[in-house]
Structure 1
Amino acid sequence: MDLSDPPLQSVLEGQPAFNPHYLSHQLLDRLQQPALLLTLRGEVQHANRAAHDLRQHTALLQRADGSLGLPAPAWTPLLARCDRLALAHAASGTHFESLRVEAGTESLQAVYGLLGAPVLDPQPLLLVLLYHPRSAPGIDPALLRAMFKLTPTEARIAVLLAEGLTLKEIAAAVQSQPDTVRKHLRCVFGKTGTGRQLDLVRLLLHLPRA
């Protein structure tokens, strides 16, 4: 086949160049987990819907003007690791690392890895998966009431426990006393067939999500 043939050349020139980043966008948009594609300077090149939703709940994904971005200095450690990550990627292929991002009382976990080696790709991107309490699918209290015959208060306490709140925090949330919360939990243990908080949380985390 002669690639210099004028008609064939015109067809080839009319085809868009393959863009692996476009494929990455498509994959990210299918994820329920908040995910970002960043340049190595920290600019957001693409964010899926879950990341945009999470931005509404945490300042860790907001610039000063409220737009989606990675405010410094919280994200500076991640960007500082990019050179080392690129070397690891070039040496052994795909390589992911984890970093806890904190600012004030807020925190989230970021798992990130490089897409494309800088030697081969002049514009490599950083894939960042975000883990934040607000990004976890919620447990439906109505499901708990239907499955285990819990009262509305018992169901709410069970959900708050699964979300990681302490008994004192749960008591404040339901406007009750810690001793009263403990009594409700004993009822929940009996109805769900669990004997302690750890077993209850494990059960709840394996239920269908809202």
Structure 2
Amino acid sequence: MKTNESEYDRLLHDIYETIDNPCAWKDFCSHLRESVGAASVHLFGFDRQRDLFSWSDGFGLANAEPLERIRPLYRDDVRLSWLRAFPAGKWLHCGVELDCADDDDAGGTTGFALYPVADGHRCVALCKLVDHQRLTVILACSAQADDAPLAPAARALLERLTPHLSRAVRLYARRFALNADALAARKRAPAMLVSAQGEVLHSNEPAQQLLRATSLVRVRNRRLALTAPHHARLLEDIAVSEARLRSRANGAQAAAARFRALRIVGEKGEAARDASPDGASSASGQHEVLYAFYNVVVTPDDASAAELRAYAALTFYHPRSAPPVDEKVLAAAFDLSPAECRIALLLAEGLALKEIAAQVGVQHDTVRKQLQSIFQKTATRRQPELLRLLLNLPGGSAGAAPDAG
């Protein structure tokens, strides 16, 4: 463990380097881990208005750490209810008696545990660097399960660094507090969260596009409207699941989590018209089909029966709402030529190689050679593997970093 002045100067330099260089956070976490003798260091942020994880970086993190251990921090773990009121800029240390004379609930706390031991790590030190109505940013140090608490010199180093960390985080706050709607929109499928009363609590941008593409699903006054009998079936399913969960019925949680599917079929010629100048429908004379996949999710397990609420997490599939493969992302990510991009796009549309050759106007062998080049550049070996990759590419705007301003 290093705690000399040169080490402090290096960490200080790392902290202020992050203001202009977001990649420097990982360097800081790596150096801090070495300096205090921790097994891992994790820096993460929350959008508190929507209770969503919004940012994460660190060094030596366990696989489960970034997502599975964050959400309980401010909502699910009753042992941490007093942490919401714990002052920003003050460190909590596991196994060290806390000086909390001003906080009766936390006074004299020893053996503090942020979350259970998992993957051999446990939290030994934690500090809320920034904590206000919209955003909370926390720095946590973890150790091996059987390690002792941080040494006094390491705790003193953390205290010295805290005001500088808080200042850097405040200057960097716009990157920490990513827009939650943008995060939801990264899920490419249309998605909605719906209550037992049919109220739409959240819908992402693809869902908004879906509403413009079909009449088989509508939202009126924030209420979901599906065609009969699917609407009644969905709301009844949520209500029954909620009642069974409230009564702690045997198998209620497993039944709620199970995915269901609704196949909603419109009348012939009912398909929504494309946004073309003449308004002609590309699906005229055919049955329009919409698939809705959903499971039932609930409020935290520690909620009382009277407070428990159930919601349907819906994901839709509709031919005209299915996101196309983004050619720009494909070319930028894998350095495909324009001809190779075209082959990949036609494959994703379901065309066979002979059909692609006829449409492009080249020999079948030419298409096969281009496909082999695509396999090599994308590190895939077979068409099913390539198709899975193509259908899971991000949209062109999903990976764009927000303007730091």
**Counterpart position of 1:167:** 352
Shift of 1:118: 9.5
**Counterpart position of 2:370:** 187
Q: Cα deviation per residue 1:73-108 (whole Å; 9 max; x = unaligned)?
A: 234432232244224433265842322222234233
Query: Does the residue aligned with 1:155 lie in a helix, a strand or coil?
Result: helix
**Counterpart position of 1:121:** 307
2:237 to 63, 81, 93: 81
**Counterpart position of 2:325:** 139
Shift of 1:25: 6.0
Q: Cα deviation per residue 1:16-74 (whole Å; 9 max; x = unaligned)?
A: xxxxxxx8966574522443333324x2342324222321233332269xx96333223
Shift of 1:120: 0.8
TM-score by length of 2: 0.35
**Counterpart position of 1:47:** 202
Q: What is the letter of the counterpart of residue 337 of structure 2?
A: L
Q: Which has the larger radius of gyration?
A: 2
2:390 to 198, 204, 207: 204
The question of whether the paired residues in 1 share the 8 Å contact of 2:325 and 2:345 is answered with yes
Query: Does the residue aligned with 1:149 lie in a helix, a strand or coil?
Result: coil
Q: What is the letter of the counterpart of residue 58 of structure 1?
A: T
Q: Cα deviation per residue 1:166-207 (whole Å; 9 max; x = unaligned)?
A: 439x949x9828996785254223343244311322443565
The question of whether the paired residues in 2 share the 8 Å contact of 1:144 and 1:150 is answered with no
Q: What is the letter of the counterpart of residue 127 of structure 1?
A: A
Write the mapping of 1:85-104 to structure 2, written as runs, cut at 5 A. 85-90=241-246, 91=248, 95-104=256-265
Matched, 1:108 2:291: yes
Quickly say closer, same or farther: Cα 1:76–1:159, change in 2 above 3 A.
farther
The question of whether the paired residues in 2 share the 8 Å contact of 1:144 and 1:155 is answered with yes
The question of whether the paired residues in 1 share the 8 Å contact of 2:194 and 2:311 is answered with yes
What's the C-alpha RMSD, in Å, of the aligned pairs? Answer: 4.3
Percent of aligned positions that are identical = 23
Quickly say closer, same or farther: Cα 1:37–1:141, change in 2 above 3 A.
closer
Gaps of 5+ in 1: 1-22
Query: Does the residue aligned with 2:229 lie in a helix, a strand or coil?
Result: coil
Q: What is the letter of the counterpart of residue 184 of structure 1?
A: V
Larger RCO: 1 or 2 (CA < 8 Å, sep 6+): 1
Q: What is the letter of the counterpart of residue 202 of structure 2?
A: A
**Counterpart position of 1:6:** none
Between Structure 1 and Structure 2, the one with more helix by share is 1
Q: What is the letter of the counterpart of residue 53 of structure 1?
A: Q
